[in-house]
Amino acid sequence: MRRALVLIPLLTAAPAAAQPAPVTRPMAAIDATLTGQPITAPTGRLRVTVSETTLAPGGKLAAHKHPYPRVVQILSGRLRVTNLDTGTVSEPKPGDWMVDAVDQWHEAIVLGDEPVRILTIDQAPPGATVTIPR
């Protein structure tokens, strides 16, 4: 009986190219809501929900409030946010990060002719309502 000779090629790995180290660029550090409230997290289990909302030119967000902190970034467009409890008015611009007021009524209107795109991050107990309309 003849045995077959099996040749196994010797694989040599080329030295790994040096990879640049990851670069982290902080985008925001926020200690208070738009109206100056300290930010506190709910206790217990949380569900993180990330959403994008688009408002057409001339559009608005009717009066509402949030029972939990809501992290917001304006992606594009111009917006005026009015806090109906404190009278605070802000006009965040694209790239701005903020935390919405907690348990304070507020509304927003689109300024200009460009749609407004808003990224929101909610951290609330699973199943909790995160926006309460007036």
Decide which of 2 and 96 is more confident: 96
Structure tokens at 40: 């506190």
51 part of a folded domain: yes
Tens digits of residue pLDDT in 83-114: 999 999 999 999 999 999 999 999 999 999 99
23 part of a folded domain: no
54-81 burial, b at 16+ Cβ within 10 Å, e below that, comes to ebeeeeebeeebbebbbbbbbbebbbeb
- CATH code of the domain in which 82 resides: 2.60.120.10
Q: Is the pLDDT of residue 117 over 80?
A: yes
Tens digits of residue pLDDT in 4-18: 555 555 555 556 678
- pLDDT bin (cut points 50, 70, 90) of residue 25 is confident
Q: What is the span of the domain harbouring residue 86?
A: 47-133
Asked whether the beta carbons of 34 and 83 are under 8 A apart, the reply is yes
Q: What percent of the chain has pLDDT over 90?
A: 72
The total domain count for the chain is: 1
90 part of a folded domain: yes
